[in-house]
Amino acid sequence: MNVWAISDLHLSFARPESRESIAGRWRDHAVKIAQHWDQSVRREDLVLIPGDISMARNHREVQPDLAWLDRRPGLKVLAPGNHDGWFGEVAKLRPMLRPSLRAVNGDAISLERTIVCGTLGADVPEDDAPTPVKELERITRALEMAAALRLPGQPLYVLWHYPPIDQLGRPGPWVEVFEQHQVTACVYGHLHIEEQWSRAVQGVVGSVRYHCVAADSLGFRPLRISRESQPDNLYA
């Protein structure tokens, strides 16, 4: 089983909007993502999506976007981003998800031999700014749930929308929590300026791997971040 990640899909099939005003590379971006995704990801693979999935405003508007995601190969795990106003409480969201979709938001799920947890997250606070206590508490709780589910040797993936380490290399307070819980990898997005991509944390820092997977930074291609042992009953 390959593990892939891509964030910031910014789907908007119910209320079509052009993102070309942001940058020309966004023209027909959903078509580009679908083409690359369908060519690379297999049904038995896992795809992590840490936020900014849809520009929908509510559960009705998000349905075409979720249907589009369901048509893509792989089992997908969603976590909210700052634009996902439709996401809401994960307990209320899960019943409406399509068969190939899962969600986390301040909690954790077990996918046979893989554990995934996540939340919206927050920007790394400036030196004189208060700690984003709510999100720190949410990811701590999610990792504690993950620890209860995790078996020896199981990989643990964290979905965190914002860069967990800032452009100056300063870690947010959650990084220590990642280390304490022996997180395998953290995937994040949110960055859409080319100059930011070169300074985004990538690779191993401490004992955790970090991947910036904002869709436009990847050329709208899912990034393979790992290959795990094949799980059973992936869609059960």
CATH of the domain at 9: 3.60.21.10
Picking from 50, 35, 78, the residue whose alpha carbon sits closest to that of residue 191 is: 50
- The overall average pLDDT reported for the chain is 92
Which of 100-114, 204-218, 221-235 has the lowest average pLDDT?
Answer: 221-235
Residue 132 lies in a domain: yes
Give the pLDDT confidence score for residue 232 in this predicted structure.
45
The CA distance from 63 to 61, in Å, is 6
Residue 60 maps to a domain = yes
Does residue 233 sit within a domain? no
pLDDT tens digits, one per residue of 82-138: 999 999 899 999 999 999 999 999 999 999 789 999 999 999 999 888 999 999 999
Give the pLDDT score at 233. Answer: 43
Task: Answer whether residue 57 is part of any domain.
Answer: yes
Mean pLDDT lowest among 71-75, 93-97, 230-234: 230-234
Query: Is the Cβ–Cβ distance between 216 and 19 less than 8 Å?
Result: no
Could you tell me if residue 191 is inside a domain?
A: yes
| 18 — pLDDT class (breaks 50, 70, 90) | low
pLDDT in the model for residue 234:
47
The domain tally of the chain equals 1
Residue 9 forms part of a structural domain: yes
The per-residue pLDDT for range 28-70, each reduced to its tens digit, is 899 999 999 999 999 999 999 999 999 999 999 999 999 999 9
Q: Tell me whether residue 43 is in a domain.
A: yes
- What integer pLDDT is reported at residue 108 of this predicted model? 98
What is the average pLDDT across 6-24? 81
Count of helices and strands (H, E) across the chain: 6, 11
What CA–CA distance (Å, rounded) separates 66 from 59?
Answer: 10
Q: Is residue 54 part of a domain?
A: yes
CB 4 within 8 A of CB 215: no
Q: By residue range, what is the domain housing residue 62?
A: 2-227
Rounded to two decimals, the pTM is: 0.93
